[in-house]
Amino acid sequence: EVQLVESGGGLVKPGRSLRLSCTASGFTFGDYAMSWFRQAPGKGLEWVGFIRSKAYGGTTEYAASVKGRFTISRDDSKSIAYLQMNSLKTEDTAVYYCTREWFPVGYFDYWGQGTLVTVSS
Amino acid sequence: QSALTQPRSVSGSPGQSVTISCTGTSSDVGGYNYVSWYQQHPGKAPKLMIYDVSKRPSGVPDRFSGSKSGNTASLTISGLQAEDEADYYCCSYAGSRRVFGGGTKLTVL
């Protein structure tokens, strides 16, 4: 059974950093691109970015709203994807989801349960 | 503002059909047949309902169907059931980006 479990969320002050983890099981993690999404309270889904599998170079792409502040990485040996968030702003407050992606077409067939990040002083 | 435009809400009675539109541009919806739809119940993670414009993953009822014309994709739900009440999001491949709609709240009356 495919499972994705996010962790690392919490309360953080503006300007600080936080790293989220997404631990995967039930599939060959290294074969898939992994994506991150977020959903602000009462708002819609927002794509944050993704990391390609090593077969496609392991490179990353980001939404304009987070580019330069957020970094996605992966450790295939541990089946974990990371979202490093720096220079956090209050508008980054959201539930963050990791997903498995059908690359390159951009379909997301498995989602984690989400982890809440609250940016507030 | 979301990249893809969806109506904020639609509604229908049990047994009826509803259609949710998703309008983009020639750089996303109109340029590729890589449109997907997601259902999200309150407090839950989204669920893939449609991919490749009109294909259903295993386990998704055939009451859900998708189509596309030009820059607009559509999700039709026929034979509405109470459990279909949820938020629906469209998504399109756009090269190195993935673009989403703002979401549509479906109310089953």
Residues from B contacting A (CB-CB < 8 Å) are 2, 34, 36, 38, 40, 45-48, 51-52, 57, 87, 89, 91-93, 96-103
**Looking at residues B32-60, what average pLDDT do you find?**
95
SS (H, E, C) chain B: CCCEECCCEEEECCCCCEEEEEECCCCCCCCCCCEEEEEECCCCCCEEEEECCCECCCCCCCCEEEEEECCEEEEEECCCCHHHCEEEEEEEEECCEEEEECCEEEEEC
Q: What is the per-residue pLDDT for B2?
A: 62
Q: What is the mean pLDDT of chain A?
A: 96
Of residues B98 and A78, more confidently modeled: A78
Q: What is the per-residue pLDDT for A106?
A: 85
Contact state of A111 with B103 under an 8 Å Cβ cutoff: no
**Looking at residues A67-79, what average pLDDT do you find?**
98
Provide the token pair at B85. Answer: 């009440």
Query: For chain B, what percent of residues have pLDDT higher than 70?
Result: 98
CA distance to partner chain B, nearest, from residue A40 (Å): 12
B58-81 pLDDT, tens per residue?
Answer: 999 999 999 999 999 999 999 999
DSSP state of A113: -
Q: What is the mean pLDDT of chain B?
A: 95
Does residue A43 have a pLDDT over 80?
Answer: yes
**Looking at residues A12-30, what average pLDDT do you find?**
97
Query: What is the rounded distance in angstroms from the CA atom of residue A114 to the CA atom of residue B4?
Result: 23
